[in-house]
Every structure is written in C-alpha cells, then in structure tokens.
Amino acid sequence: MAKKPTRPAAGSGPSKAAAAPSAPTSAGGNHAPVISDAEIETRLTTMPEWGHVGEALQRTFIFPDFVKAMTFVDRVAEEAEKAQHHPDILIRYNKVTMTLSTHDSGGITQKDFDLAQAMDRLA
Ligand code: H2B
C-alpha cells in the first residue's frame, strides 16, 4: 500500500511570526500622535485647497512666475527650520507642490496641519 505523501500539517512549518499590527501610533515613542483619517477629512473641510494623499497632506500653490514661487519656497524653508518639520517640495516653474507627513510618526500629525496653515499664510 502506497504511503501517503508526507506533508507538514498546516501551520507546523517555519512561518513568519504573527506580524504585530503596524498601525502608525505614537505608542512607545515621543513622536507626535498620528491623526485618524476621519479627523483629517473633517479638518480638511476648512482647508479646501489641501488634499489627503496617502499618508500626507498635499497642496499645489500656483504663482505668477518662477521667482515668486521660489520666494515662497524660501519663506517656507525658514518656517520649516523653525519648526524642525520639513515638507517634500516639488517645484515646477510657477507651481509648487507641498507634501506634508510626519515621518517619525508614520502619518499625518498636528505638525503637518501647523505647517500647512503657515504655508497658507505665506502664499
Ligand atoms: N520633517 C518631517 N516632515 N517629518 C519628520 O518626522 C521630521 C521632519 N523629523 N524633520 C524631524 C526633522 C526630526 O528628524 C528632527 C530630529 O527633528
């Protein structure tokens, strides 16, 4: 009689350890707490130029020309240094796309909203 092919019972072999939930939180660190998606959407109703893209806030600012766009970027740089919170910046002639996320926390935090509002004032 043919022996049944042996096969490890399900779950008996080497397997990845149960992955810890990777929800971004401030647990275990001093990082700013991540703001929930629902709360972000609520806040964005008062900031209609800003969008929620992945784990970031994003807005494209449009200026009359390149020099004015660069002046804005320079002012934002000063503000970012003061806050020790730095945006990703894409400059395309007169358009500046700002992307804000708190890398240390793994999502959007109050620091991103604060810098977004500072940018709105500077634009
Ligand atoms: N900028 C952004 N956007 N996210 C961060 O988590 C961040 C930063 N961390 N700027 C700051 C610098 C941190 O590395 C320093 C030590 O404050």
**Averaged over 94-111, what is the pLDDT?**
98
For residue 103, report the distance from its CA to the centre of ligand 1, in Å. Answer: 7
| Nearest CA owner, ligand 1 atom 14 | 104
For residue 18, report the distance from its CA to the centre of ligand 1, in Å. Answer: 30
Q: Does the pLDDT value for residue 68 go beyond 90? A: yes
pTM over 0.75: yes
Rg (CA), the chain: 22
Q: Does the pLDDT value for residue 7 go beyond 70? A: no
Does the 52-122 domain belong in CATH 3.40.50.300?
no
For residue 75, report the distance from its CA to the centre of ligand 1, in Å. Answer: 18
Q: Read off the pLDDT of residues 16-54 as tens digits, 9 standing for 90 and up.
A: 444 444 455 544 478 999 999 999 999 999 999 999 999
Looking only at the bridges linking them, the beta strands covering 51-53 and 88-92 are unpaired
